[in-house]
Amino acid sequence: MVGDEAVWGEELREFAIYCQDSLGCRKKIVCHMCVFDQHNYFGKLHAPSNMLVHCSSKHTIGYKCPKSGCMVRVATPRELPLHIHFYHELPTGWWEMTPYNEKMNVMKGD
């Protein structure tokens, strides 16, 4: 199961932040692990050629996005299809659309 059903609440909000942060700066990229592992939002832009060094020194070497030209690295294999879905496949502005904006406000139950 990928994307829509697997993610909600805080993680979905973080994907929204991540995608919004990435808008308009396609020459630089937002570090996925800074956002999702360290909850470090905004202003963390890196040159694509620096991602491998950044991730292996600050995080883990991780898994590279298989899309050509995308140098984003994620921490776990589970996050790769999620990154591809939210970052590459959905249209810009998905976070303002139903049902995504509704799911963002759903809290995980105990």
- Residues 59 and 75: their CA atoms lie apart, in Å, by 8
Contact between 29 and 72 under an 8 Å Cβ cutoff? The reply is yes
9-15-19 Cα angle (round to 5): 150
User: Which one of residues 13, 64, 67, 103 is an interface residue with Zn ion (CB under 5 A)?
Assistant: 67
Can you say whether the dihedral through the CA atoms of 61, 6, 109, 31 is positive or negative? positive
Closest CB to Zn ion among residues 45, 106: 45
- Is 104 among the residues that bind Zn ion (CB under 5 A)? no
Smaller CB separation from Zn ion, 71 or 103: 71
Quote the least distance from Cβ 19 to Zn ion, whole Å: 11
**Which window, 7-15, 18-26, 72-80, 90-98, contacts Zn ion (CB under 5 A)?**
72-80
The DSSP H or E segment spanning 74 is: strand 73-74
Q: Give 15: exposed, middle or buried? Use CB within 10 Å, 0-12, 13-18, 19+.
A: buried
Using rule CB under 5 A, residue 51 touches Zn ion: no
Binding mask 15-34 for Zn ion (x = CB under 5 A): ----------------x-xx
Binding site for Zn ion (CB under 5 A): 31, 33-34, 58, 65, 67, 70, 72
